[in-house]
Amino acid sequence: MSETVTITALSGDEEFTAYVARPAGSPKAAIVVIQEIFGVNAGIRRKCDRLAEDGYLAIAPDLFWRLEPKIELDPDVEPEFQRALDLMGKFDQDQGIRDIEATIKQVREAEKIAKVGCVGYCLGGRLAYMTAARTDVDASVGYYGVGIDGLLDEKHAIAHPLMLHVPTEDGFVDKDTQKAMHEGLNDHSKVTLYDYEGLDHGFATEFGKRRADEAAQLADSRTSEFFAQHLGG
């Protein structure tokens, strides 16, 4: 079952929407699904639906609500891809983390679910790392997160497990960045990195030209096992 719910921002006087997919029975935990630069589109909703099929309550907050509420873009349509890049440039990432924190808080309080994880893609992969460092989320996964080398000074604050999926031919994350990520995080007791040789950015998307099915299934199986281990179920 899916629905759109309203999240109260941490300020207490603003609200934004989130897509929620619920499992058939009682959820074993909740997972915040963090959007790419394309909004809470069909692919992100499908990620939520899949997690619900696995027994989780999955929730995807609309993080672009201050710019263009409920925006949905298709990465395979060039003008929409360019529009997404423009939105990313305008997006306040620190505020986005506060909105993710508000979502975690509301899930715990309103849904009475203690264990909450997060998984993010692209921009969301970066935000998943930031969420791991800046909130009390119980477990985090980032797919092809961008610019994480610039966030390594926050790694000391990562207190709960974090998994990062890193395609080696990512057009948005060059080899030097990947090297810095490994050098900075390989020895962190809470962080696990997986490389995907020859794969590009967006390989685990649900729809469209970017998907590489075999690698996506491998990454998703690792994510599933990770959440089962750290969130229960």
- Selecting among 165, 201, 220, 230, the annotated active-site residue is 201
In whole angstroms, give the CA distance from residue 40 to residue 181.
27
Q: Is 110 exposed, middle or buried (0-12, 13-18, 19+ CB in 10 A)?
A: exposed
- Selecting among 170, 195, 200, 230, the annotated active-site residue is 170
Residue 92 annotated to the active site: no
Backbone angles phi, psi at 122, to 5 degrees: 65, -120
What is the sign, positive or negative, of the torsion defined by CA atoms of 134, 97, 88, 31?
A: positive
Residue 33 CA: distances (Å) to CA of 46, 127, 176, 183:
10, 10, 28, 27
Give which of 67, 102, 104, 69 is closest to 86, Cα–Cα: 67
Residue 153 CA: distances (Å) to CA of 46, 124, 140, 164, 172:
33, 19, 18, 17, 21
Residue 232 zone, left/alpha/beta (φ > 0; ψ -120 to 50; rest):
left
In whole angstroms, give the CA distance from residue 138 to residue 116.
6
Residue 170 annotated to the active site: yes
Enzyme catalytic residues: 170, 201
